[in-house]
Structure 1
């Protein structure tokens, strides 16, 4: 069962802001469809020490496992790359969010200390669309936390914290650039344009080729496909300049909403994840519900995320035709349209990752289990940073990933093929995982060290 910071039909398909119905979970705030980021948030866990709770203690207390950077490194075989000195050094990951978090610098420092991570070489925060004003900073008491605007700002703070902490955790040698805007993205009506303006500014000024984004809108919620194509010109320009832009595919499987919050009665996908010029990141879960491990010594078999709290986004665009590199890879696509996701990563609530936050005006500071393709996306950006620290600039990564897929010996080294599960959700029938690419899990999840080897062998 979920409680929402905002309604389930929130008009931001930002890989889903919901609160688990567990003690200490963020409070329910009623609203009409509005800009509430869709990150799946668990309870704020107080601790007498600075150490995060263990996966086993989370499972005992809440019925879900909760993992940290070491477990993700084991699950996706970062170890040999780290051992060779490849940890993102010399790379920059640019993260785009609305509002940001007022405590992100201190929270990242606490997170790093608890997990024994070094500080990033640099952590820069930019506001190209104007300074952010956070209303919840001025609450006379938590009892005043009763508006959808405050819930929106707090939701984006959770999103920002997740993005920054896990992009850094998995590529600790990379610089982190956080770019914020002072409004929220709302179903393509407002905010999305501000985020794109901020991205255009980043493309012109930051000269970094790895971007992470965890926000989206159902394709059908735009006024026309022409609007989407116009917006997509920025991503085409960025890809042509060698920028890999990672976008969360969404947390409701194939069931996405319109501007009024009603679910479309047929399978849908989200934009910008559906753009042919970005890398769409879907979701998996580690273990089945009730059998997720509390320790991970090496890769544990995954399935498509669909644990009752959410499901990984995927399907086929109604706007963009299949990309040339997908055509060459002969992905299963009867529609002739762009298929997504391209790749996947752990995103489930039952196998959540832990963040540390101190901004929450109601529950205060603590460790928080958090899930969603918002958790998967910054970690895939980190995978790119680790690979580029080993191999040098890889440019726009998507065509190379599909080229690897076309060579079975490379594919088996670079990816863990996800072959079970589906992304049907909320009564809408979705797609099933299968051997090779699927519209539920894409190419699969990364074997990071094997992916570096495979990329290095391409000509």
Structure 2
């Protein structure tokens, strides 16, 4: 049996939902407010708990946990966090540029405009603007989540309309929502906690690959069996890119699940590395998926315009990484400090202090909200793969970034740590490969093509 993860109610069973952590604050230098302060999640199990950052009053943020208790024993706990007060990094940057005073968010209310990074920010940070404009047509990204979000299509439409992205609806064939059996009418029970995750995943895939089609496959519960069945259905429906923003502790069942659910040659499958710091999780530890770690992404005056470091907020909040206890090491992974599968492969923005804008009306939001976590990073990387084109038949795309290792096609993240493992690269960033960020973050699509 898997142990209950830290900061998860004992009733949550074996699984928890990875990352969708709400944004704290960052990039205060852009607003002349000094060094950014991280927010520490309060270690309580209350579903409506609040957490407050230790920061100057002008930068202070609070957030709430939505859906801390799963619907049934054995399901993944939904740990979505969302800003309920304070000023986000995006707000600070925008206010500084416009010469205005940023307006603090109100508790239990969403904003009437975005309060986190949008498509232009993300495409710019990862060198994707040209590819996003020209590529993706004919490609489909599948988003696998649990339960139903009744407002998924309408919320997605609002996000895409606001940012001027092409329409993606069921009417024009761009958007499809199905159950794990492929049914369009017999959908799972709606769940407000997972709805926030669904909105986050759809919006991030849209932000990176606006010309891609999207298929949302909803599992009837958050068990690995049902989520894995949903992955298989996504591939059956033709998706060559599948994003998974969930995970749990490893177990001896993992190798069997590898073969049953994630061994799909010619399909790029991404999985969040986790949000509770050092320690490998599944399915990120599967040798058949691209394990996606998380970074803090901050605007900078350097030639790139951005800097990144390992996302680490507290001892219980930060990107996952580590050495698998069960999954064998794939032939293309050659680091010597872990005899089995090492997590992660690559990374993208995940720090709640530098979060992304999401439009959500059925989850714990009522419009524009800001999220972070490796739940954001997994669909971002799935979108990058989609911009790179259909993987070659028989390939395992998790290998692709390793072919580009050490080149300018990846932004090497060399600072930060996500836990205590001595000076080991398994939890500490360094030049070249490291556990928290893998070979780095995208700089264009070349590292993600086969």
What TM-score does the superposition give when structure 1 sets the normalisation length? 0.74
1:168 aligns with 2:198: no
Provide the residue aligned with 1:334 in structure 2.
337
Contact 1:311-1:425 at 8 Å conserved across structures: no
Higher relative contact order (CA 8 A, sep 6+): 1
Provide the residue aligned with 1:69 in structure 2.
119
Provide the residue aligned with 1:201 in structure 2.
233
- Kindly indicate which of the two structures has a greater share of residues assigned to helix: 1
Unaligned runs of 5+ residues in structure 1 are: 46-51, 136-152, 185-190, 255-267
Q: Which of residues 284, 290, 313 in structure 1 aligns to 2:320? A: 313
- The RMSD of aligned alpha carbons is 3.5
Q: Distance in 2 between matches of 1:155 and 1:236?
A: 25
Aligned to 2:355, the other structure's residue is in SS state: strand
Aligned to 1:338, the other structure's residue is in SS state: strand
Aligned to 1:386, the other structure's residue is in SS state: helix
Provide the residue aligned with 2:137 in structure 1.
89
Distance 1:297 1:109, change over 3 A: farther
Q: Which of residues 258, 266, 280 in structure 2 aligns to 1:232? A: 258
Unaligned runs of 5+ residues in structure 2 are: 1-5, 23-49, 53-60, 96-100, 106-113
Distance 1:364 1:77, change over 3 A: closer
Q: 395-404 vs 375-384, which deviates more?
A: 395-404
Contact 2:352-2:373 at 8 Å conserved across structures: yes
Q: Distance in 2 between matches of 1:310 and 1:426?
A: 16
CA-CA distance at 1:358 after TM superposition? 1.1
Instruction: Show the 5 A alignment for 1:10-89.
Output: 11-16=14-19, 21=51, 25-26=63-64, 31=69, 35-43=76-84, 55-56=93-94, 61=104, 66-82=116-132, 85-86=134-135, 88-89=136-137
CA-CA distance at 1:244 after TM superposition? 1.1
Provide the residue aligned with 2:164 in structure 1.
116
Q: Distance in 2 between matches of 1:344 and 1:380?
A: 8
Q: Distance in 2 between matches of 1:426 and 1:17?
A: 25
Aligned to 1:356, the other structure's residue is in SS state: strand
Q: Which of residues 287, 296, 301 in structure 2 aligns to 1:285? A: 296
Per-residue displacement from partner, 1:340-367 (whole Å, max 9, x unpaired)? 100000001110001011114xx65221
CA-CA distance at 1:28 after TM superposition? 6.3
> How many positions carry a matched residue from both structures?
381
Contact 2:148-2:189 at 8 Å conserved across structures: no
Distance 1:119 1:176, change over 3 A: same
CA-CA distance at 1:180 after TM superposition? 0.3
Provide the residue aligned with 1:156 in structure 2.
194
Per-residue displacement from partner, 1:426-452 (whole Å, max 9, x unpaired)? 999961100001012101000025547
Aligned to 1:448, the other structure's residue is in SS state: coil
Provide the residue aligned with 2:281 in structure 1.
270
Provide the residue aligned with 2:40 in structure 1.
none
Q: Distance in 1 between matches of 2:180 and 2:418?
A: 37
What TM-score does the superposition give when structure 2 sets the normalisation length? 0.75
Q: Distance in 2 between matches of 1:428 and 1:311?
A: 17
Contact 1:99-1:180 at 8 Å conserved across structures: yes
Provide the residue aligned with 1:263 in structure 2.
none
Instruction: Show the 5 A alignment for 1:422-433.
Output: 422-424=417-419, 431-433=427-429
Q: Distance in 2 between matches of 1:214 and 1:416?
A: 23
